[in-house]
Amino acid sequence: MKVEKLFFPILFALLCNPVLAQEFDLEASIQRGNTIYSSSCASCHMMNGTGISGVYPSLAGADSLMNDIPEMLTWIVDGGEVNGVSHSFSLTDREVSDLLNYIRNSWGHEGEAILPEEVQPALQESEEGD
pLDDT digits (tens, 9 = 90+) for 18-50: 554 458 999 999 999 999 999 999 999 999 999
Q: Which has the closest alpha carbon to 107: 55, 42, 54?
A: 42
Please state, for a pLDDT cut of 90, what percent of the chain lies above it.
43
The confidence score (pLDDT) of residue 122 equals 84
In this prediction, residue 19 carries a pLDDT of 52
d(CA 40, CA 48): 14
CATH of range 24-129; options 1.10.10.60, 3.40.50.11780, 1.10.10.10, 1.10.760.10: 1.10.760.10
